[in-house]
Amino acid sequence: MPWVIDGNWVRKVVADFIAHSPENSLQNAAQEKAFGPPLVGFAEGDDPLFEDFKEHVGPFFITPWELFAITFRDPGVRPENLSVISYILPQTEATKRDNRREDTFPAERWARARIFGEKVNEALRRHLVAALAEQGVRAVAPVLAPQFSRRISAKYGFSSTWSERHAAYACGLGTFGLCDGLITPVGKAMRVGSVVAELRLPATPRPYTDHHAYCLYYSHGICKKCISRCPAGAITPAGKDKQLCMQHVIKTAAYVAEQFGFKGYGCGLCQTGVPCESGIPKAKD
């Protein structure tokens, strides 16, 4: 029955996959792991934050209840009987080290983590959904659902019907930085995924009320290291220009193909070589 599955069970499923699955690979000659030990957090399906996201991002944003009701054709399911499971997959020290040295294009490990690492993330989403299903628990990974699509927000520009970073914020796993990255206890150099499940899991406490609480610039008026790290000039004290960022990322595809011999892209320079790379920064950082 659903209520025998608790948060520790979910954490173990996620951690075991990252620790032992051969799918957790950068797909390089050494078959290095793409990610280190994950973090996992939970939010209640009726958390008001998800309605707030819809209000701010746009009416196209899907709440956990809407997604679940559509997926399972069950409008009678109660939001309070759902939980959002979010996990953080931290980049390895080798990947961060390599990218820290770059100033224009991504390091090979970083580009691999962007492409092959996201395949790991997708496999983990499917694995968690399947593991829950084996226990009789209905679940869906929002970004793998047919309802997921890229959209344009009138207020924020490039957007989508679900945000993995915003789900992680709701699940107590981090807050946003000047460059829009999510700063977590294991830093900003990471990837993130989520699943909505028919479970009542205790919500992970959010040790913040400000969505920029962990960013040194927003909280203390200092740092701004991500500004100088951006090769596209897309980050300023006013925030990130998504268009400039995307234009640069598109340019990286040719570099990755020529230098590393695979089809991919990436950047992540603003996520490395900064105080929030591997943890929540302190003002002295």
189 burial level (CB within 10 Å; 0-12, 13-18, 19+) = buried
- Measured between alpha carbons, how far is 149 from 159 in angstroms, rounded to an integer? 9
Q: Is pLDDT at 26 greater than 70 in this prediction? A: yes
Predicted confidence (pLDDT) at residue 37 exceeds the cutoff of 80 = yes
Identity of residue 134: E
Instruction: Kindly state the tokens that stand for 152.
Output: 């344009």
Q: Give me 225's structure tokens.
A: 């290291």
| Structural domain boundaries in the chain | 2-271
- Is the pLDDT at 165 greater than 70, yes or no? yes
What band does 2 get if pLDDT is binned at 50, 70 and 90?
Answer: very low
pLDDT of 193 > 90? The answer is yes
Q: What pLDDT does 285 receive?
A: 58
Q: What is the pLDDT of residue 154?
A: 82
Alpha-carbon distance of 140 to 131, in angstroms, equals 11
Per-residue pLDDT, 5: 83
Confidence of residue 156 (pLDDT cuts 50, 70, 90): confident
User: Using 50, 70 and 90 to split pLDDT, how confident is the model at 109?
Assistant: very high
Q: Which tokens is 57 given?
A: 């991002």
pLDDT tier for residue 7 given thresholds of 50, 70 and 90: very high
Q: Yes or no: say if 214 and 165 are a contact pair by the CB < 8 Å rule.
A: no
pLDDT band at 43 (very low <50, low <70, confident <90, very high): very high
pLDDT of residue 120: 99
Of residues 24 and 2, more confidence is placed in 24
- Over residues 198-253, the pLDDT tens digits come to 999 999 999 999 999 999 999 999 999 999 999 999 999 999 999 999 999 999 99
Question: Is residue 4 scored above 80 in pLDDT?
Answer: no
Confidence of residue 155 (pLDDT cuts 50, 70, 90): confident
Average pLDDT value for residue range 155-177: 95
Condensed to tens digits (0 to 9), the pLDDT of residues 89-99 reads 999 999 999 99
pLDDT(65) > 60: yes
